[in-house]
Chain A
Amino acid sequence: MDFKLSEEQELIRSNMREFAAKHVDPIAAEIDENSRHPAEVFQKLAEGNWLGIPIPQEYGGAGADRLTHVIAVEELSRSCASTGFTLSAHVDLACTPILLFGNDQQKAKFLTPMAKGENLGAFALTEPGAGTDVMAATTTAALDGNDYVINGSKTFTSNGPVAGTYVAFAWTDKEAGRKGMSAFIVPRDTPGLRVGEHFKKMGLRASQTSEMIFKDCRIPKENLLGQPGQGVQIAMTTFDHGRMGIAAQSIGILQAALDEAVQYSKERIQFGTPIARHQAIAWMIADMATDLAAARFLAYYAAWLKDQKQPFSKEAAMAKLFASEAAMKHTTKAVQIHGGYGYIKGAKVERLMRDAKITEIYEGTSEAQRMVISGNVLR
């Protein structure tokens, strides 16, 4: 048993901390307020190989392990959850399925520039009528000569407005059920693909989310990812990875909430003493620190399993479930500790609380995580 990170992981964590403090902290409130994608930050992240940490160097990545990536997402999210999530969605939801299911040509053509950060990736699965119930999707891809023709629409596509490469899902054989959906790599400039308007969200506002409309969108057959009918499997495997990213994002939010709560409660005087000395506040902070430690162990363990090439699907779901619910619970407490000041725009805890909510919803709601976990436990 060894709880120690490697020296490289520790150094990479402190480098990301320095990066985020220097380039992200100063703009985090502004990009939240304006719902702006910080392209200038992503340019710098690309230069430091942060946009392809777990992708092998032969495909343009840094060639580190998954745990290192999880640590980087955590530290970045501690400064700005939107920025951390944009990175996670790019790597976990778009680069990862191409790495795992793509052929050599697809990896060279699509994955390599993505892992280098030359363009961002997005994952287009959810539809207006199909969220947790993936099978309710209606988008189709019909084979026509050497092309697939995709028709339908997607929604809540994270990174949709800013991505250059999409991993999109459509039925190639609706009759075949779970084995009838396929995955495709769709470049942004493909005729027939229209990226809808960026949604205005409650939180995570600097992460760009949109609809995607496919109208007779024609892509060459070689852009099929994996085998025909492998789409559901690709989507589920991708989610296993994405959930570690959301767990990391939640941990970053939670750490930030704890940092803010500790600092404020030591400074704020009520009844003649810092409120941190009041048991009511001290115990909130104790619970916060405990859940943070537990969430971190779950997430690091899931990533470690992945790096050991062992099954990690259940553990990733547990990490995502626990970390996201802890983030929501304790950002609410952090606002409570700040009292009225925490309810005012500009207080970091106000942003953290809004950002936390989505972690219980996307990449599988908490309810969906419980389905995955109970399905594993009750097998």
Chain B
Amino acid sequence: MPEMIACFKWVIDEAYIRRGPEGELDLSSVNYKISEYDRNAIEEAVRLREAHGGSVIPVTVAAPEAAKGVKDALSRGGDRAFFIADEAFHDLEPSQTAAVLAEVIRSRIPHDLILCGEGSGDLYAQQVGPRLAEHLEIPCISFVQKLSIEQGRLIAERKVEEGLEVVAAPLPALVTVLPDINVPRIPGVKDTLAAAKKPFVTVKRDELSGKYEAHLATLLVRATQMERQCERFGTQPEDVARFLESLRKKGAIGQKGG
């Protein structure tokens, strides 16, 4: 019976981000949520457990405020969780997240399968899954939209540029999932209440042996401004000419002969 880890990230719910007067991001009244594709990862682990037994262990690396996210993950079907929490874990970059996850998973969480979302809702760097697989020296299957375990092997359908690719891998393995793989359930009231009683282990930074320094520095984050303009054109040939001229003036298409 497979032991399955579902990695998730507690991200800002983008619906609450506002644009400040200088174009800065106003995060003063944001809510947080489990990153969308990571919900698919948890759901897929729960589905596999329904089919094959085993257990589902949600794991996250985050600041201590993400405790609510751990409950959320448990309410979505996790059996027990690992919460790698420290004030220093605000805004980790993907290489740090992957390295921290690798240390904790290698030393403390026996596993047959690790599921991650294809990318996170905030950065969408798509790096944590593949980096984590490299650290653990296990196969990584990305862009997965269908997954099953057959005779102890993983069968995964990957969405690739020119169609579908079906691959098999021995366990243990790591899979990054696309949102098409399933529709995550909305937890019921009892699921949420029960989650508060499920066990979870908190791992502090000073329990880790690695240093995990950052390599990137964020210099500036600015909101883009989208301007909407509306002009009406008719359907006569001269209207079409006027329409094209208007697009050229706005720089939406190139100049004639350009």
Contacts and interface: CB of A to CB of B under 8 A. Distances in A.
Interface of A: 7-8, 10-12, 14-15, 18-19, 22, 47-50, 53, 57, 62-64, 68, 72
A62 B31 contact: no
A307 B72 CA distance: 24
B68 A11 contact: yes
B125 interface: no
Contacts of A72: 189
Contact of B189 (A14, A18, A50): A50
A15 B195 CA distance: 14
Given A8-B193, A72-B189, 9 more contacts: A8-B71, A8-B192, A8-B195, A11-B71, A11-B72, A12-B192, A50-B188, A57-B190, A62-B193
B196 interface: yes
B155 interface: no
Contacts of B149: none
B186 A49 contact: no
Interface in B179-219: 186-190, 192-193, 195-196
A56 B84 CA distance: 34
A15 B67 contact: no
A83 to B, nearest CB: 15
A-B pairs, top 7 by smallest CB distance, nearest first, are: A48-B188, A62-B189, A49-B189, A7-B68, A49-B188, A49-B190, A62-B190
B33 interface: yes
A11 B190 CA distance: 12
20 contacts: A7-B67, A7-B68, A8-B195, A8-B196, A11-B71, A11-B72, A12-B189, A14-B33, A15-B188, A15-B192, A18-B186, A19-B186, A49-B190, A50-B189, A57-B190, A62-B190, A62-B193, A63-B193, A64-B189, A72-B189
B92 to A, nearest CB: 23
Contacts, number: 51
A8 B193 CA distance: 7
Contacts of B195: 8, 11
B75 interface: yes
Interface in B61-105: 67-68, 71-72, 75
Contacts of A7: 67-68, 71, 196
Interface of B: 31, 33, 67-68, 71-72, 75, 186-190, 192-193, 195-196
Contacts of A49: 188-190
A49 B192 CA distance: 11
A18 B76 CA distance: 14
B81 to A, nearest CB: 14
B187 A10 contact: no
A329 to B, nearest CB: 25
B28 to A, nearest CB: 16
B184 to A, nearest CB: 10
A69 to B, nearest CB: 9
Contacts of B186: 15, 18-19, 22, 48
B188 A62 contact: yes
A22 to B, nearest CB: 7
A141 B186 CA distance: 45
B192 A11 contact: yes
Contacts of A8: 71, 192-193, 195-196
Contacts of A57: 190
A116 to B, nearest CB: 11
Contacts of A64: 189, 193
A349 B33 CA distance: 29
Nearest to B228: A267
A50 B191 CA distance: 11
